[in-house]
């Protein structure tokens, strides 16, 4: 199996590794994806609008020159995909979008009252739901509203999630004119039987045509999402999908493991459990995926992301500039995130915050002239320290004790004595290399980087009930 780049020394050559099934099974445990630390399940309702406003005003006083990241959640979908665990509203009534956009406008007005207009934005992402549920005119209005209140800087990453069933070549041209320079297509699987089983039928020819059009139009990067572990998938059928994906050759690929949690996510109750692949078949799909994608020339960025060597994400990993936020891996500097829309999660300074999860609650707060913050948290000194450690592992695959010590005024080996003992066991399994002043994730360890990061998660040390998280594999 082709290996990932060992981040202990970015000058090292990548090596070939086969990951034994025993190792994958041993570390196939529930765990966070670490788009933040602490994770969102730790947010509390005691953190509300006044706490968020205080964080905004502190930013205004001290770091206005730093660029922002902006996330806008569009919750609407015309039909339900049975595997989906996103916050969404299923409706064919497109007039609901106009009402939602009016409330988004109110939220932005309240935000800028507290920290001012015109802040530079280097990263914008429209997620959902299905952002392309909105018409071209509605998307244009949304982008106009964003530009009226923020400054989208040249060279930024401006991306939108796209359901291939909702766009044409002409719509892609419209998105480019609006300023989007990156697309993410939800594919999941090309097999017709699997698509039918998850209620998301989209011919491969349609996706191929759209990706070709996106390239001609000049989008800087095209991502494709895949999921393994879906009903009726087999190692053989998924191998066919991988072959088609390699022919499609998107710039980036996100390969997710399906987490079947029907008690938490109602749409998943429509999936027939007996049709789900076995654990061993899922391992086979993962192993074959790693082989197929890296044999095709993709760089393993980390966890479940792959990119062509020329893509900005792969370049950022080689140069040690990789970051991670609520949208996953990013090339943009670690920065504050303004989150807009129902259920959206943001980060300002040493705080996290989340908006109301239902439209009724979201609308009600804004009708009262309040920001719709319903929960969040202010990070402690220990949280900030562990966040730095976990993000270093997740993004750079390495820990330099001295930089952590200087940044947080601790003795690394004393503070993390228990964690280093656990890492010794991981070293015995070939996942990390421990040195006198550093820890490095091995090529094999990159595939299980979530498990390595979990060692430093203080909340998991005292909470062994991890059922709320998906499994690593």
Each of the 473 residues of the chain gets a pLDDT tens digit; together they read 333 333 333 333 243 345 677 777 777 777 888 888 999 999 999 999 999 999 988 887 776 568 899 999 999 999 999 999 888 999 999 999 999 999 999 999 999 998 889 999 999 999 999 999 999 999 999 999 999 999 999 999 999 999 999 999 999 999 999 999 999 999 999 999 999 999 999 999 999 999 999 999 999 999 999 999 999 999 999 999 999 999 999 999 999 989 898 998 999 999 999 999 998 898 889 889 988 999 999 998 887 899 999 999 999 988 888 888 887 888 877 789 999 999 999 999 999 999 999 999 999 999 999 999 999 999 999 999 999 999 999 888 899 999 999 999 999 999 999 999 999 999 999 999 999 999 999 988 887 888 999 999 998 876 544 445 556 55
Give the predicted TM-score (pTM) of the model.
0.89
How many angstroms separate the first and last alpha carbons of the chain?
A: 17
The reply, when asked if residue 103 is annotated as ligand binding, is: no
Q: Is 264 exposed, middle or buried (0-12, 13-18, 19+ CB in 10 A)?
A: exposed
Q: Tokens 């991981």 belong to which residue? A: 426
Give residue 22's pLDDT.
76
Report the distance separating Cα 102 and Cα 454, nearest Å: 41
In CATH, the number for domain 21-32+380-462 is 1.10.10.920
Q: Give the residue among 9, 32, 43 at the shortest CA–CA distance from 343.
A: 43
395 in a known ligand binding site:
no
Of 124, 120, 123, 73, the closest CA to residue 354 belongs to: 73
Render the burial of 55-94: b for 16+ CB within 10 Å, e for the rest: bbeebeeeeeeebbbbbbbbbbbeeebbbbebbbbeeeee
Residues 6+ apart with CB under 8 A from 216: none
- From 24, 463, 58, 93, select the one nearest 285 (Cα to Cα): 24
Alpha helix ranges (H) inside 264-311? 279-295
pLDDT reported for residue 87:
87
Beta strand 119-128 with 68-74 is parallel
Q: Within 27-89, where are the H helices? A: 49-62
Q: What span, in angstroms and rounded, lies between the C-alpha atoms of 57 and 103?
A: 23
Compute the distance between CA of residue 425 and CA of residue 446 in angstroms, rounded to an integer. 16
Closest by CA position to 342, among listed 325, 368, 369, 364: 364
Helix (H, G, I), strand (E, B) or coil at 346: strand
Map out the domains of the chain as residue ranges: 21-32+380-462, 41-338
Cα 181–Cα 350–Cα 73 angle in degrees, nearest 5 = 35
Does 259 appear as a known binding residue? yes
176 appears as a binding residue in the annotation: no
**Residue 225 marked ligand-binding:** yes
Q: Give the torsion sign (CA, 157, 390, 348, 108).
A: positive
The CATH architecture one would assign to domain 41-338 is: Alpha-Beta Horseshoe (3.80)
Please tell me whether 417 is known to bind a ligand.
no
* Residue 18 pLDDT: 54
200 annotated as a binding-site residue: yes
Question: For residue 423, which of 372, 389, 470, 395 has the smallest C-alpha distance?
Answer: 389
> How much is the pLDDT for 57?
85
Do the domains 21-32+380-462 and 41-338 sit in the same CATH topology, yes or no? Answer: no
- Please tell me whether 83 is known to bind a ligand: yes
The response to whether 402 counts as a known ligand-binding position is no
């Amino acid at each position: 199996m082709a290996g990932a780049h060992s981040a202990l020394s970015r000058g090292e050559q990548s090596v070939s590794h086969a990951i034994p099934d025993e190792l994958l099974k041993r570390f196939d445990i529930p765990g966070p994806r670490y788009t933040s630390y602490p994770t969102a399940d730790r947010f509390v309702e005691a953190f509300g609008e006044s706490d968020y406003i205080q964080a905004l005003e502190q930013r205004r006083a001290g770091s206005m020159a730093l660029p922002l990241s902006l996330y806008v959640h569009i919750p609407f979908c015309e039909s339900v995909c049975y595997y989906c665990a996103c916050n969404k509203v299923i409706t064919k009534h497109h007039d609901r979008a106009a009402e939602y956009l009016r409330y988004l406008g109110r939220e932005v007005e309240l935000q800028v009252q507290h920290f001012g207009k015109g802040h530079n934005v280097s990263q914008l992402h429209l997620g959902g739901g299905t952002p392309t549920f909105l018409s071209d005119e509605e998307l244009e209005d949304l982008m106009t509203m964003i530009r009226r209140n923020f400054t989208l800087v040249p060279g930024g990453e401006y991306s939108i999630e796209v359901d291939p069933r909702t766009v044409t070549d002409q719509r892609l041209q419209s998105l480019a004119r609006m300023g989007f320079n990156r697309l993410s297509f939800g594919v999941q699987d090309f097999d017709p039987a699997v698509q039918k089983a998850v209620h998301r039928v989209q011919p491969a020819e349609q996706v191929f045509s759209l990706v070709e059009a996106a390239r001609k139009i000049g989008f800087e990067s095209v991502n494709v999402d895949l999921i393994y572990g879906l009903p009726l998938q087999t190692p053989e059928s998924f191998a066919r999908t991988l072959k088609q994906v390699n022919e499609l050759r998107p710039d980036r690929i996100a390969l997710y493991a399906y987490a079947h949690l029907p008690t938490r996510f109602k749409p998943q109750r429509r999936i027939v459990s007996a049709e789900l692949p076995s654990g061993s078949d899922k391992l086979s799909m993962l192993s074959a995926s790693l082989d197929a994608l890296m044999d095709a020339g993709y760089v393993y960025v980390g966890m479940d992301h792959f990119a062509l060597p020329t893509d900005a994400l792969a370049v950022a990993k080689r140069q040690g500039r990789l970051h991670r936020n609520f949208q996953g891996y990013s090339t943009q500097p670690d920065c504050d995130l303004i989150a807009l829309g129902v259920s959206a999660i943001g980060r300002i300074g040493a705080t996290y915050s989340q908006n109301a999860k239902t439209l009724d609650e979201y609308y009600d707060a804004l009708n009262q002239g309040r920001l719709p913050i319903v929960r969040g948290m202010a990070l402690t000194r220990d949280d900030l320290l562990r966040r730095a450690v976990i993000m270093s592992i997740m993004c750079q695959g390495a820990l330099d004790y001295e930089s952590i010590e200087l940044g947080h005024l601790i003795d690394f080996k004393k503070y993390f004595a228990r964690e280093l003992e656990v890492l010794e066991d991981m070293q015995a399994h070939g996942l990390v290399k421990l040195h006198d002043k550093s820890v490095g994730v091995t090529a094999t360890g990159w595939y299980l980087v979530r498990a390595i990061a979990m060692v430093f998660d203080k909340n998991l040390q005292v909470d062994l009930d991890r059922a709320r998280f998906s499994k690593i594999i």
